[in-house]
Structure 1
Amino acid sequence: MLRASVWLALLSSLLLSSCGFHLRGDLPLSHFPAMYIQSERHSELAALVAARLKHNKVQLLDSYQQTTPMLQLIDDSLERRNLTLFPNGQVAEYELIYKVRYALTMPDGEPQQYQFELFRDYQDDPNRALAKAKELDLMLGELRQQAANRILRQLARLH
């Protein structure tokens, strides 16, 4: 019985690895052994991207070298657009738009610019301003994590 379960585990791991399965967050970034990230000084998005690159075994450099790729996080911003109003005219629901612009410069190459937007709906309640401010902070953190994941998926597609 023990032998059968060992064979079953071995067979299932073989099947999963042969179909290209990767654990969430593990991306094939072997074509980027080292990279330099340029961003604003205390950028939360840059910190998330750096952590994910380290998790995927990419060495982060302290200074730019022309023989390694450079990821430049140009801009990330949050905009709000009114969706619905309460009968008294106050905003009841917003659409949050998180915009990210970045560039990737390969050795001896021109910078390739990329940009994308992420969207979320956010319901506002003036009677619960403190709770809604905390919820907005949590949503912004989730949007940044989504953006960092999207940047890494884009890097994994480049060869």
Structure 2
Amino acid sequence: MRASYIGLFLLLAVTLVTAGCGFHLRSAQTLPVGSSYVHIIAGKQTAPLEKSVLARMKVYQINSGSQALDGEAASTISVKLQPEKLDRRLLSVFATGQVAEYELIYGVRFTATYPDGNQITQQFEVLREYQDDPKQVLAKSRELNLVLSEMRTEAADRIIRIISNQQ
């Protein structure tokens, strides 16, 4: 009997601590009330990001596409992606003077227009550290492509969270 009280007390304590620090479970992303479709507008320079956003919208089961739906303008959110930007910042070098480590900075800017005419423009950066090894050029090239893909996925998730949380 005493063990069950201790277990109950521990469960209550853990619950209070996690709730007190602001932790909460994330649910599936949903669109604001009155919106049922997201139209992604992208240029040639943002095609990889557009593909990531559309793929992530499928994961969240949000109706979206790169084509506007006829007759759905009253419930469509339009998201215009600006050209993505990738910069590198030097973090460290080898004793030989060759670059050992970079910080990759992936910049995203977009404008979302809601059915009620409200418009927001947001920009943010996704950061990653990337270690370079001149002896393994091919492997590092593939790793860089994988890191960029992960950064685009993170940016897509962030875009979806931003447009979902606007009222």
The question of a shared fold, defined as TM-score above 0.5 by the shorter chain, is answered with yes
Q: Determine whether 1:33 maps to 2:36.
A: yes
Q: In 2 relative to 1, CA 57–130 (structure 1 residues): closer, same or farther, beyond 3 Å?
A: same
Residues 36-89 of structure 1: per-residue CA shift (max 9 Å, x gap): 110024711111211222342324362377532210011212111111111111
Name the Cα RMSD after superposition.
2.2
Q: Residue in 2 aligned with 1:123?
A: 131
CA shift digits 1:84-124 (9 cap, x unpaired): 11111111110100100000012352531100001111111
Distance in 1 of aligned mates of 2:147 and 2:66:
30
TM-score when normalising by structure 1:
0.76
User: Which stretch shows the higher mean deviation, 138-147 or 47-56?
Assistant: 47-56
> TM-score by structure 2 length?
0.73
Q: How many residues are matched?
A: 138
Q: Which residue of 1 aligns with 2:48?
A: 44
Counterpart-to-counterpart distance in 1, 2:108 and 2:150: 14
Tell me how far 1:156 sits from its aligned partner.
1.9
Residue of structure 2 equivalent to 1:139: 147
Q: How does 1:107-122 map to 2 (within 5 A)?
A: 107-109=115-117, 111-122=119-130
For 1:151, the equivalent position in structure 2 comes to 159
Q: Work out whether residues 34 and 61 of structure 1, in 8 Å CA contact, stay in contact via their aligned partners in 2.
A: no
Unmatched segments (≥5 aa) in structure 1: 1-19
Identity across the alignment (%): 38
Which structure 2 segments of 5+ residues have no match?
1-23
Runs of 4+ in 1 over 3 A off after TM superposition: 20-23
Partner residue, 1:57: 62
Q: Where do residues 15-30 of structure 1 align in structure 2 (5 Å cutoff)?
A: 21=25, 26-29=28-31
Residue type at the aligned position of 2:56: R
Between the aligned partners of 1:90 and 1:107, the Cα distance in structure 2 is 52
